[in-house]
Structure 1
């Protein structure tokens, strides 16, 4: 596969994905050599936590503000 075909294939895949964590990883690759990239300044464990959180959002493992408030009231008697 020549370089132009590879570029087109990658562009197609990027345009078709809705996975924020994958897009962040791709962005990270492009920004790897930039010294002022705030993402690179984050400790690896923070980057991993953010990526994990984005995966959980994609999987629907989220709670609305109302759900959190209701549970806090029930649990702690607010």
Structure 2
């Protein structure tokens, strides 16, 4: 397979996938070709926690500001 055919094959695979994790891994590969940014300097545990938070937001697992304030008022009495 020549380089152009390989590129086309990869583009087709990227366009057809719905797996965020695969796309993020591909993005990391490209990022490694360039200077490391702050994301790459974060510990894996922190990156994973951030990605879980992004997934929670995507799935609607969030609290409104008002809900957080009410809970803080109830819990801490202010």
Note the residue ranges of structure 2 that are not aligned, 5 or more in a row. none
Q: How does 1:52-71 map to 2 (within 5 A)?
A: 52-71=52-71
Q: Secondary structure of the residue that 1:6 maps to in structure 2?
A: helix
1:44–1:33 CA distance, 2 compared to 1 (3 A): same
Count of residues paired in the alignment:
75
- Following superposition, the deviation at residue 72 of structure 1 comes to 0.8
Whose RCO is larger (CA < 8 A, sep 6+)? Answer: 1
Task: Answer whether contact 2:14 2:23 (CA < 8 A) is retained.
Answer: no
1:29–1:5 CA distance, 2 compared to 1 (3 A): same
TM-score, normalised with respect to structure 2:
0.70
Cα RMSD for the two superposed structures: 2.7
Q: Whole-Å Cα distance in 2 between the matches of residues 26 and 63 of structure 1? A: 31
Give 1 or 2 for the bigger CA radius of gyration. Answer: 2
Deviating beyond 6 angstroms after TM superposition, the runs of 4 or more aligned structure 1 residues are: none
Structure 1 match to 2:8: 5
1:76–1:22 CA distance, 2 compared to 1 (3 A): farther
TM-score, normalised with respect to structure 1:
0.70
